[in-house]
Structure formats: structure tokens, C-alpha cells
Amino acid sequence: MIHQISGRNVNETFHEALWKLKVDGHIENSRNGRVITLTQPALICNTQPMERVMFCPERKENPFFHFMECLWMMAGSNEADWIAEFNPRMAQYADGGTGQFHGAYGYRWRHHFSVDQVLETTALLKADPTTRRAVIDMWSPKDDLGTNAADIPCNTQIYFRVVEGRLSMTVLNRSNDLVWGALGSNIVHFSFLQELIAHGAGLQVGTLWQFTNNLHVYERHWKFVEQPPRCSSYRQQGVSPTPIISTKLSGWLRDCEKFIAKPEETSSLADPFFATVAYPILHSWKYKDPKYLELCAAKDWGLACTRYLERLRAAEHTGLA
């Protein structure tokens, strides 16, 4: 039996997945401590994956990290220093000698296998929307099987399928923490990838499926299973998703590489997404000032980032930062 969890977006599926674990989960030991897990695989379906920002006060996620991790991935980077600026905990998973991540998804998408899988997959789908051979790999038996690296890909392959002009995407996963993984960072960066490839292939964005062989929640987050929080909808928040690309995909990727390499330089980036969304978010993080978010065209990200900064200020005021 496969456990199926369906919803419009991450705000619905997060709640439903926690209830699934509350009803059907059981406690197991893992190398990182006790977990509540399902004994069968799980399939999570998000029908509107572009609605990728979570509005759940209890979750207290860091939207700056989620957003910048997407750009770091799409630039094909595996360097720890840049992304650790937004989440210092990330550095502990990098190779201490190289300062690089062994299994960084973006690097594997664009460089590791000596082919840019993002551009090649997009070209394949554009040439033949009926193809069933559009696959992106993240798992490398040569590099991953039996290795003791701290950063081994949890997500292993991605399949694409065009249905009625919409690009659906299925992500295969060997083991996934629901809170920080599947419906934390993963739903954001995989929906970014899906939207970019759909745009490049001249398609609309379809459903995002996430199949995991082991869906679990670590003990530090069992409170969410005990009392699953209900997140707000995009409609309740009065926001809607903003497209992340309007120019040619290859150009957008070059812009992204420049953004990561020299984030202080803005004039050479062609896609308006960087000037109207990425830079306001970056400057707001750098100066910890929400005034820059007033310039952010993506109101969902702007709202989530503003609330995160408000939480930081409140914590500093009470001495809990």
C-alpha cells in the first residue's frame, strides 16, 4: 500500500501529511535519532506547486534560506560558503577539506555527470512533448553507494511528463524528513526547477509529485505530529505566485550564475526576476531590514520574509535570539 497525500500546495499537503503520520505512523530508531515514520512508501501530490511559500506560524521556517538555496542550486554550485550565509547549519554537511557538498543537487543537475541535465531535458521536452525519456539523475552509484560522506542525495531521480500541455514532475526519494526536507526545502527548489523547465519547453506548470520510500519526522518536530498545525492559504493571505522567469532559460541560468558569483553587481542581469525579486530579498537579509521587501514583486515571498524578520526582532527584544 502507498500512502497518498494530496493538496493544492504546500500549505495543504503539510497539514495532511502530518495527520497521516499521526494516524498511521509509528516510532523507529534511525542513525540521527528516533522518528515517527510510515511503514509503506508515501506519494505527495501538489496540484499548484508554484504556490510554494508556506504560511504556518508554528513552522517558523526561514524563507530567505529556501529562496536563496533555489538560486544556488540553479547556478550549479556545490560551494558551502555562499549558502551557509543563509543557514549556518549547512556547513556541517560539507567536506571539511574542500568546503564543497558531496551531493549538491544543483551541481549534479548541471555539472556532475558532464552534461547540463537542465538544458538537455528542456530541449528534449521541447522537441518531443510525448517523450517518456526525460529524466534527471541525482544519485550516482559510483560516488554514493557505500560512501560515508555526510551529504548523500536523498532525492535520487526526477521524471517528467507532459499532460494536456502541462509539465508534471515526479521526484523519487529514498528517505525524507517531512518538516525540513519534503515539505520544507524540497518542495521549493523542485518547484523552481519544474517552473524553469516548463518555461524553457513552452509548457504550463502541472502537478508536482514527490514519492518517498521513507517519510518521517524527527523527535525534535513531534509536536507537529501531535497537533498538526493548519496553514493559511494563498487566498487568505491575499497573495499569488509570481513567475520566476520571463526570458530564455539559458540566459536566466547565466544570470543566476552571475548573481551567485557577484551578488553586489546588478546591471548585467537580463531577466527582471533578479532586479524585482532576488535583489530585494537579498538586501533585506543582508541588512535585516524589511523596507527592501516593499520593492519585492513576489508578494508571497515578501510577506514570508517580512514575518521572518519580525520574528528575529521579537526574539532579540526578549533575549531569545
DSSP states along 135-193:
EEE---HHHHTT---S---SEEEEEEEEETTEEEEEEEES-EEIIIIIIIIIHHHHHHH
- The overall average pLDDT reported for the chain is 96
In a domain, 270, yes or no: no
Buried b (16+ CB within 10 A) or exposed e, 64-73: bbbbbbbbbb
pLDDT band at 208 (very low <50, low <70, confident <90, very high): very high
The pLDDT of residue 321 is above 80: no
In a domain, 250, yes or no: no
Please report, rounded to a whole number, the percentage of residues in the chain having pLDDT higher than 90: 93
Structural domain of 62 = 3-237
User: How far apart are the C-alpha atoms of 33 and 52, rounded to whole Å?
Assistant: 29
| DSSP letter assigned to residue 31 | T
pTM score over 0.95: yes
In a domain, 41, yes or no: yes
Helices (H), the chain: 10-24, 63-74, 80-84, 105-107, 117-127, 141-144, 187-200, 222-226, 234-237, 249-261, 272-273, 279-287, 299-318
What are 304-318's pLDDT values in tens digits?
999 999 999 988 877
**Contacts of residue 251, Cβ cutoff 8 Å, sequence gap at least 6:** 270, 271
What residues act catalytically? 154
What are 97-144's pLDDT values in tens digits?
899 999 999 999 999 999 999 999 999 999 999 999 999 999 999 999
User: How far apart are the C-alpha atoms of 163 and 142, rounded to whole Å?
Assistant: 34
In a domain, 267, yes or no: no
Say what the pLDDT of residue 320 is: 55
In a domain, 251, yes or no: no
The pLDDT of residue 247 is above 80: yes
Q: What is the SS3 assignment for 40?
A: coil
Say what the pLDDT of residue 252 is: 98
In a domain, 295, yes or no: no
CATH of the domain at 116: 3.30.572.10
Say what the pLDDT of residue 156 is: 98
Q: What is the SS3 assignment for 207?
A: strand
Say what the pLDDT of residue 67 is: 98
What are 14-60's pLDDT values in tens digits?
999 999 999 999 999 999 999 999 999 999 999 999 999 999 999 99
Question: Per the structure, how many domains does the chain have?
Answer: 1
User: How far apart are the C-alpha atoms of 163 and 170, rounded to whole Å?
Assistant: 13
Contact 243, 267 (CB under 8 A): no
In a domain, 312, yes or no: no
User: How far apart are the C-alpha atoms of 60 and 146, rounded to whole Å?
Assistant: 35
In a domain, 262, yes or no: no
